[in-house]
Amino acid sequence: MTTESAQPRPIRSGPIRSDPDTTVEPVRVAVLGLGVMGGSLVRALAGNPAYELAGWSPVADERRKTLEAGLLRSASSERRDAVEAADIVVLATPLRTVCELMAEIARTAPPEATVTDVASLKVPVRNEAKRVGVYERWVGAHPMAGSEKSGFDASSAELYCGARVWIADKGNSEPSTERIEQVEALWRAAGGVPVRTDATAHDELMAVASHLPQLASNALAATLRLMDVAPRDLGPGGKGMVRLAASAPGMWRDIFDEAPEQLAEGLDLLSRRLGSVAELARERNGAELARLMESTRGWVEEGGR
């Protein structure tokens, strides 16, 4: 494959057809990683005339399935082939791989291409973007959607429908408003709801809003196993609470290696709260436990107020 033009291309958020007789070239999107996140993105965008999709995966079966489903223009085993004509490069891989790929993308993608990602921590990605010289065209994204399962077979065209998508770095004065709007348009087309944020504030929030629930689910599952309770013994509520315990540990290891201090603080608070609840249960203090339940029910029903 060869790059279509050696001349810089304008940043395009998508076709704007004010004149129905005017043909506008679609935005070329390269999605690197075709698992749950990347696969769901190409499923959501497939058939949208605003976008022309290329993909890369190290897994031959994932490449084959995306092509057989008609989701991509091309699915390559070589990242260079996937990105060489891209307007937007989406790094839809685990956090560590996102950072590892950044330097390569700086060399192989067109110099005018916008670089974005789906990693659940933004500060490490931002720092790597600065290090390799793509900070001025990096717009981080983190869709609040996913699955405890992995791989293309677990992807869904509806995964991002109505999901909040954090767009960072709000404090970054380097990428133009046009690049930010380009990435926001991409996620709106996939069904998401973009919300701009600062990378540091985002990571501090995710430590307790996403990573803490994951480890709480793992701890609950480990406790049930010690007490000889099997998943089949659980009711719908119990199964819902341990669903995250089935998440692939490889992806999460990278996240925990970079997690901000708020994660440990949240775990400490949870541990102390569980200790208090255990004491109430030991005392058979149903009234206080009911008051706790009423308080937390109100928090859920009132949206955190």
pLDDT digit string, tens, across residues 225-248: 999 999 999 999 999 999 999 988
| Domain CATH for 46 | 3.40.50.720
* Domain-embedded: residue 11: no
* Domain-embedded: residue 158: yes
pLDDT at 7: 39
pLDDT at 1: 37
> Which of 197, 224, 239 is the endpoint of a domain?
197
For residues 168 and 282, membership in a common domain is answered with no
Q: Distance (Å, rounded) from C-alpha 257 to C-alpha 251?
A: 11
| Domain CATH for 218 | 1.10.3660.10
Q: Which two tokens stand for residue 32?
A: 């690197």
For residues 193 and 253, membership in a common domain is answered with no
Strands 140-143 and 164-168: antiparallel
For residues 172 and 93, membership in a common domain is answered with yes
pLDDT at 164: 97
Estimate to the nearest angstrom the gap between the alpha carbon of 4 and the chain centroid: 30
pLDDT at 54: 96
Enclosing domain of residue 282: 202-300
Domain count, the chain: 2
Residue 48's pLDDT band (boundaries 50, 70, 90)? very high
* Domain-embedded: residue 208: yes
What is the dihedral sign for C-alpha 269, 273, 274, 279?
Answer: positive
Contacts (Cβ under 8 Å, ≥6 apart) of 211: 120, 252, 255, 256, 259, 263
Which among 208, 209, 245 is positioned nearest to 224, based on CA atoms? 245
Query: Residue 258 pLDDT more than 90?
Result: no
**Count, residues in the chain:** 305
Q: Distance (Å, rounded) from C-alpha 283 to C-alpha 293?
A: 17
For residues 75 and 183, membership in a common domain is answered with yes
> By mean pLDDT, which of 2-11, 65-74, 161-170, 185-194 is the weakest?
2-11
Query: Residue 6 pLDDT more than 80?
Result: no
* Domain-embedded: residue 16: no
pLDDT at 5: 31
> Which of 197, 232, 264 is the endpoint of a domain?
197
> By mean pLDDT, which of 3-17, 19-33, 152-166 is the weakest?
3-17
* Domain-embedded: residue 6: no
> Which of 147, 164, 197 is the endpoint of a domain?
197
In this structure, are residues 145 and 32 in contact, taking their beta carbons and an 8 Å threshold? no
pLDDT at 4: 31
Q: Distance (Å, rounded) from C-alpha 33 to C-alpha 29?
A: 12
For residues 31 and 132, membership in a common domain is answered with yes
Residue 259's pLDDT band (boundaries 50, 70, 90)? confident
* Domain-embedded: residue 2: no
For residues 78 and 124, membership in a common domain is answered with yes
Name the residue with higher pLDDT: 146 or 289.
Answer: 289
What pTM does this model have? 0.83
Q: For the beta carbon of residue 192, count every other beta carbon within 10 angstroms.
A: 25
pLDDT at 3: 33
pLDDT at 198: 92
Which helix or strand (DSSP H or E) is residue 152 part of? none
Residue 302's pLDDT band (boundaries 50, 70, 90)? confident
For residues 208 and 278, membership in a common domain is answered with yes
Q: Distance (Å, rounded) from C-alpha 141 to C-alpha 180?
A: 10
Whole-number average pLDDT of the chain: 89
Identify any residues that bridge with 111 across adjacent strands, giving them in sequence order. Answer: none
For residues 224 and 106, membership in a common domain is answered with no
Residue 288's pLDDT band (boundaries 50, 70, 90)? very high
Annotate 100-135 with three-state secondary structure. HHHHHHHHHCCCCCEEEECCCCCHHHHHHHHHHCCH
In this structure, are residues 28 and 86 in contact, taking their beta carbons and an 8 Å threshold? yes
Q: Distance (Å, rounded) from C-alpha 51 to C-alpha 64?
A: 20
* Domain-embedded: residue 7: no
Which helix or strand (DSSP H or E) is residue 154 part of? none
For residues 167 and 52, membership in a common domain is answered with yes
For residues 183 and 216, membership in a common domain is answered with no
Q: Distance (Å, rounded) from C-alpha 4 to C-alpha 70?
A: 23
For residues 283 and 216, membership in a common domain is answered with yes
For residues 193 and 215, membership in a common domain is answered with no
pLDDT in tens, 95-132: 999 999 999 999 999 999 999 999 999 999 999 999 99
Q: For the chain, how long is the longest CA-to-CA vector?
A: 76
Amino acid (1-letter code) at residue 231: P
* Domain-embedded: residue 14: no
Amino acid (1-letter code) at residue 93: T
Name the residue with higher pLDDT: 236 or 249.
Answer: 236
Which among 200, 17, 23, 175 is positioned nearest to 183, based on CA atoms? 175
Q: Give mean pLDDT, residues 70-80.
A: 93
